[in-house]
Amino acid sequence: MITTRPRGTNDILPSESHKWQHITQQIHDICALYGFRQISTPAFEHTELFHRGVGEGTDIVQKETYTFEDRGGRSLTLRAEGTAPTARAYLENGLHAAAQPTKLYYIEPIFRFERPQAGRYRQHHQFGVEVFGAADPAVDVEVIALALDFLGRFGLDGLTVRLNSVGCPTCRESYRARLVEHFLPCVEQLCPDCRSRIERNPLRLLDCKEEGCRRLKERAPHMLDSLCGPCREHFVRLRGHLDALGIRYEVDHHIVRGLDYYTRTVFEIIYPGLGAQDAVCGGGRYDGLIETLGGEPTPGVGFGMGLERLILTLEDHGYEFPGPRRLDVFLAAVGQEALARCVVLLAELRRRGVAADTEYTGRGLRKQMKHADRLGARFVAIVGEEELATGRCVVRDMGTGTQEDIALEELAGYIQERCGRAGL
RNA sequence: GUGGGCGUAGCUCAGGUGGUUAGAGCGUCAGGUUGUGGCCCUGAAGGUCGCGGGUUCAAGUCCCGUCGCUCACCCCA
């Protein structure tokens, strides 16, 4: 028997699933409020999509994808992030032909081959939003505001918004040159990783945490100082909107994000209680992505939020999830005849919207009471030979211990009324 | 890919320097109470001590290897 799950994956057990239900309910709710509609994409895509969309040189593509060949010889890759597949679906299904912008959200598993640790898994879940077809910084702000509004619903405080701009391909090129100019004279002081980064992707030098590199990047030129006119204006207006909404943020010159498609706005939302995995949410603008995938030039902006990390954050914060729905009534069935009657009663109770269950394993009444207690049942109705004969049964209120004598015919209606259920 | 910690019952964990039949709490099942939950009492079931090899008269315990889990680094949600 195989008794272990693959590394870095998790079972979501009944004792946990109410948390997920609660969170996803809140997601659907807030997205409707902001005018976003849900999209679901396949668990795997053509490998090419991630290579082109996310970027050949990124860590995700270079070492973190789950890539396999199907029986037809096609190279496929499990969804490694949410934006490229959403962009692909947007293009493929002609959503650009409808009224713009297109505002989408998703809740999907993400797969990345990494060494697991607290807050990082090989399969995790992300809630993400994407807006296609609107370049105005007001949309960037809407996306950030949605994320904060959502997190605020759980009473979270201590969150930090970090903000930066990575410019457009044009101004980034000149910035790249300035960076190389800054780091090149002191290559020997850089860590081995960064020495190779200087040629491949100098921007990534900025988020290296090695001591030596850290000190060098303190004096490195800031991207913001290299922005071209339009990019600078975008950032200024973005900050204006954030200020108008009273959203507090820190400009962090070292945020560059690990995916190639970002342009202009990049941001992260940090919860410091999570150690190295403190980014609960990360996102930004990606005005070149759709074009990269073969579409007409189309601006886009969005974020991804790790739900496992969100749950860790909430637990760290002492958030109390609403409990699962409890049983309204447990039918204690004593004997086969009684069980037969209870099967019918159950159907009627449930038709009336009453959460009901009964005893299927033939235990004695005492055990059934104990069982009902642990299920959290509000009432227990005792149905045995005596009740079948008289047509009346005992209904016990498990909270107060008081009991009433109710006709079997009226049981369902009685429980429905006592529990205030609307019926179907 | 690199480093630390840990693998004993369904769960949480005890098991100095090797020594008979491997324990506890919780949970499960049964009974005390043959028709009444929470508290209490009794009993039972449940173990390849992660796996493989080695040392030894003797290994859960010591050694080597291996697998798994976990935490951290890198990077990310």
Whole-complex ipTM: 0.85
pLDDT in tens, A382-393: 999 999 999 999
Which strand B nucleotides have any atom less than 7 A from protein CB atoms?
A: 1-3, 28-31, 33-38, 68-77
Domain range for residue A259?
A: 14-168+228-316
What pLDDT, on the 0 to 100 scale, is given for residue A250?
94
Residues A115 and A28 in one domain: yes
Estimate in Å the CA A305 to C1' B66 gap, whole number.
Answer: 38
Please check the confidence at residue A120 and state whether its pLDDT lies above 90: yes
What pLDDT, on the 0 to 100 scale, is given for residue A75?
95
User: What nucleotide is nearest A268 when CA is compared to C1'?
Assistant: B77
Residues A152 and A273 in one domain: yes
- Tell me, what amino acid is at A318? G
Residues A149, A143: Cα–Cα separation, whole Å:
10
| A258 CB closer than 7 A to any strand B atom | yes
Residues A411, A207: Cα–Cα separation, whole Å:
66
| A276 CB closer than 7 A to any strand B atom | yes
Residues A150 and A38 in one domain: yes
Estimate in Å the CA A113 to C1' B51 gap, whole number.
Answer: 26
- Return chain A residues 330..389 having CB < 7 Å to nucleic acid strand B: 334, 363-367, 369-370, 372-374, 380, 382, 384-387
pLDDT in tens, A225-261: 999 999 999 999 999 999 999 999 999 988 877 788 8
CA dihedral A200, A213, A184, A230 (to 10 degrees): 70
- Return chain A residues 174..213 having CB < 7 Å to nucleic acid strand B: 193, 204, 207-210
A256 in any annotated domain:
yes
Among A291, A316, A341, the domain-final residue is A316
A299 in any annotated domain:
yes
Lowest-pLDDT choice from A205-214, A224-233, A410-419: A205-214
When divided into structural domains, chain A yields a total of: 2
Among A259, A293, A316, the domain-final residue is A316
Q: Is A184 exposed, middle or buried (0-12, 13-18, 19+ CB in 10 A)?
A: exposed
A142 in any annotated domain:
yes
Residues A109, A126: Cα–Cα separation, whole Å:
6
User: What nucleotide is nearest A10 when CA is compared to C1'?
Assistant: B69
A208 in any annotated domain:
no
